[in-house]
Amino acid sequence: MYDFNFGSQEDIRRSPEEFLIFVKRLLPRWANGIPDSECVAIFRALEPYRDSGSSLVETGSGASSLALFLHCALYGGTMYSWDTNASKGAYLRSVASDAIGRVLGVDVHKIWRFVAFDSTNPHVGLPVMRELNITPVFGFFDSWHTLEHLTLEISQFTEICASRATIAIDDAYYTKRYENYSYINMLRAKLGLGSVQEPVDNVCQPYYVEIENLLKSTFSRVEKIEDSYKQDFQSDLFFEYFESDRYFMNQLGMEQKNALAHRFDAWRVS
Ligand SMILES: C[S@@+](CC[C@H](N)C(=O)[O-])C[C@H]1O[C@@H](n2cnc3c(N)ncnc32)[C@H](O)[C@@H]1O
């Protein structure tokens, strides 16, 4: 049951970011994959699309889904999420419905489509938006963290998105070209196995550099958003709250403390 009380509809409309964080903090760690400050930065990046009935896209569901869902519930529009983990979709839908849909009087099924499959599949992945006649204006990409996968997702998105759109990515400081050795080593550690060495040719430039170059080769105008995450992340409680888990992730290279300012990056393109 996630029907905890924050206040009335009017209270939520007055303080939507506080409400978003209130709901985010109800999530367990496995579904709460981004810092609070990043969740708010996503919500703020959606400001230009308020009351426009626009469609939003994300790959890799979790707290980010709540930011997109709250935007749609308050200001209209629809959202599409891809995540290979179907249970995460079912769980997040129940949180969105209980904690947000109930008090705002919106039906989660009318706003949110969750596709429990590979985001890049040609038949049910991002390209399917064309068949559905949907032209998304916003994409947040946070699924399988390799440059190869991210590049494919963003290329597929740019083929179907609106002529003016926003593209945002998580873990933008990552430098993993074709395999995510940090993730693999995290799974190996759980199996009691030692780490495997990352091959030198797996290292690319940070995603925020690689993706900006990709966008510049696709769009005539690419404008970096001055997102609020970069101002707020240092005082974000999230990092302290999950300190022990993050210490482990740091050791395996899943998180790099000194690169955290580029954990989130976003661009407006046209
Ligand atoms: C880092 S988590 C997402 C965190 C989430 N954005 C949040 O705000 O909490 C990555 C997710 O991507 C999903 N995933 C991994 N590979 C995928 C793929 N090829 N297509 C779609 N989802 C994928 C995983 O199941 C996982 O739930």
Question: What percent of the chain is predicted at pLDDT more than 70?
Answer: 97
What is the distance between the alpha carbons of residues 23 and 114, in angstroms, rounded to a whole number? 19
Give distance in angstroms: CA of 8 to centre of ligand 1: 32
Instruction: Kindly state the tokens that stand for 30.
Output: 């496995």
Give distance in angstroms: CA of 58 to centre of ligand 1: 9
Which residue from 26, 40, 42, 84 has its CB within 8 A of the most atoms of ligand 1, so it is best to mutate? 84
CA 184 to chain centre: 21
Of 208-217, 222-231, 250-259, the range with the lowest mean pLDDT is: 250-259
Give the nearest ligand 1 atom to 64 CA: 8
Ligand 1 pocket member 60 (CB < 6 A): yes
Q: How confident is the model at residue 242 (pLDDT cuts 50, 70, 90)?
A: confident
> Looking at residues 55-72, what average pLDDT do you find?
98
10: three-class secondary structure by DSSP: helix
Q: Is the pLDDT of residue 257 over 70?
A: no
Choice between 246 and 60, residue whose per-residue pLDDT is larger: 60
Choice between 89 and 260, residue whose per-residue pLDDT is larger: 89
> Looking at residues 69-85, what average pLDDT do you find?
98
> Looking at residues 85-105, what average pLDDT do you find?
97
Residues 84, 60: contact at Cβ < 8 Å? no
Q: How confident is the model at residue 115 (pLDDT cuts 50, 70, 90)?
A: very high
In order of 145, 152, 176, 194, 205, the CA distances from 200 in angstroms are 17, 22, 10, 19, 12
> Looking at residues 30-55, what average pLDDT do you find?
97
The string of pLDDT tens digits covering residues 178-196 is 999 999 999 999 999 999 9
Q: Is 9-269 in CATH node 3.10.20.30?
A: no
> Looking at residues 98-112, what average pLDDT do you find?
97
Q: Is the pLDDT of residue 126 over 70?
A: yes
Query: What integer pLDDT is reported at residue 244 of this predicted model?
Result: 76
Ligand 1 pocket member 151 (CB < 6 A): no
The string of pLDDT tens digits covering residues 88-97 is 999 999 999 9
Q: Whose CA is nearest to atom 18 of ligand 1?
A: 118
> Looking at residues 101-121, what average pLDDT do you find?
98
- CA gyration radius for the chain? 18
Closest CA to 85 of 121, 113, 116: 116
Ligand 1 pocket member 57 (CB < 6 A): no
Query: What integer pLDDT is reported at residue 114 of this predicted model?
Result: 98
Ligand 1 pocket member 38 (CB < 6 A): no
The string of pLDDT tens digits covering residues 143-176 is 999 999 999 999 999 999 999 999 999 999 999 9
